[in-house]
């Protein structure tokens, strides 16, 4: 019998999926909550393996009804009645640093992934958790062996802009190598600000906040009111880094954006 699991970035970075017994690669996916479901809301209060640090100890959290959760992994097995049963590994997803550092996630892939428990949702602002870098694309470092680190920012699920300067990004391979940050990447930002409003129209996302962030092209729209207008240019680029010993040491690909008219990109780096 073979394992059928969807692995999320957080799982790859350190979370685990428990053994579920006899699993089959032939198991059909749930027609409502599939292995491609990224986010759900709870239909009732429940425990999903989230622990929060309180008074020096990690205690289980009973999440409230209608709580947004990120699906980090799913695993399926045949039930005794011949039907497929799917369970999920769930987290709060990418939330602001001060909040994220208080959580631990256990008992992964132990929650029945059913329509009775969860409602499938799509993010109203799809750019949430995308890692944006300034410039028209990745470039190689001085010795052409890896990508040169640049500053980065992203929008969290709980409406914070988190900005990392070049030195902070250089210390975290996740912030350069991945397209999306995950709940397992808890890196202290250089600066952060609470977002007041996010609006989306087509390929344009507007992010309003009350304090400028040094390093971002803040556009002042009023008293203590600033905006980032993020536009997907719907164009892409790629770069082979190397070669070393006649082969590329890395391959970078990205999608081009503008932020208040300045070039930014969103992409990933694969090292050989």
Q: Which residue has the tokens 């010993």?
A: 245
Q: For residue 246, what pLDDT band results from cuts at 50, 70 and 90?
A: low
Q: pLDDT digits over 128-165, tens only? A: 999 999 999 999 888 887 889 999 999 999 999 999 99
Burial class (CB within 10 angstroms; exposed 0-12, middle 13-18, buried 19+) of 247: exposed
Higher-confidence residue: 161 or 246? 161
Q: For residue 12, what pLDDT band results from cuts at 50, 70 and 90?
A: very low
CA distances from 190 to 141, 148, 174, 182, 187 (A): 22, 19, 16, 18, 9
Q: For residue 244, what pLDDT band results from cuts at 50, 70 and 90?
A: low
Res 105 pLDDT > 90: yes
Res 20 pLDDT > 70: no
3-state SS track over the chain: CCCCEEECHHHHCCCCCCCCCCCCCCCCCCCCCCCCCCEEEECCCEEEEEEEEECCEEEEEEECCCCEEEEEEEEEEECCCCCEEEEEEEECCCCCHHHHCCEEECCCCCEECCCCCEEEECCCCCCCCECEEECCCCCECCCCCCECCCCEEEECCCCEEEEECHHHHHCCHHHHHCCECCCCCCCCCCEEEEEEEEEEECCEEEEEECCCCCCCCCEEEECCEEEEEEEEEEEEEEEEECCECCECCEEEEEEEEEECCEEEEEEEEEEC
Q: Which two tokens stand for residue 265?
A: 């990109």
Spatial distance between the Cα atoms of 92 and 94, rounded to a whole number of angstroms: 7
Spatial distance between the Cα atoms of 255 and 264, rounded to a whole number of angstroms: 9
The average pLDDT across 241-256 equals 80
Higher-confidence residue: 57 or 110? 57
């Amino acid at each position: 019998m073979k394992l059928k699991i969807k692995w999320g970035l957080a799982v790859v970075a350190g979370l685990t999926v428990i053994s579920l017994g006899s699993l089959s690669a032939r198991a059909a996916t749930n027609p409502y909550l599939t292995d491609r479901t990224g986010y759900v809301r709870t239909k009732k209060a429940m425990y999903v393996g989230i622990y929060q640090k309180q008074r020096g100890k990690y205690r289980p959290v009973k999440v409230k009804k209608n709580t947004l959760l990120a699906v980090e992994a799913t695993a399926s097995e045949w039930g005794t009645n011949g039907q497929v049963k799917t369970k999920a590994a769930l987290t709060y997803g990418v939330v602001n640093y001060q909040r994220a550092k208080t959580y631990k996630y256990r008992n992964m892939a132990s929650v029945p992934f059913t329509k009775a428990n969860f409602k499938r949702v799509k993010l109203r602002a799809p750019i949430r958790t995308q890692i944006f870098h300034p410039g028209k694309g990745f470039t190689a470092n001085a010795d052409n062996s890896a990508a040169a680190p640049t500053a980065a920012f992203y929008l969290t699920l709980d409406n914070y802009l988190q900005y990392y300067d070049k030195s902070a990004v250089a210390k975290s391979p996740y912030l350069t190598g991945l397209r999306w940050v995950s709940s397992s990447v808890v890196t202290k930002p250089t600066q952060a600000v609470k977002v007041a409003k996010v609006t989306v129209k087509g390929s344009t996302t507007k992010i309003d906040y009350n304090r400028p962030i040094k390093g971002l092209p803040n556009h002042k729209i009023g008293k203590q009111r600033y905006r980032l207008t993020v536009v997907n240019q719907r164009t892409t680029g790629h770069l082979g880094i190397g070669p070393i010993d006649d082969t590329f040491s890395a391959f970078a690909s990205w999608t081009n954006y503008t932020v208040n008219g300045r070039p930014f990109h969103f992409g990933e780096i694969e090292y050989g």
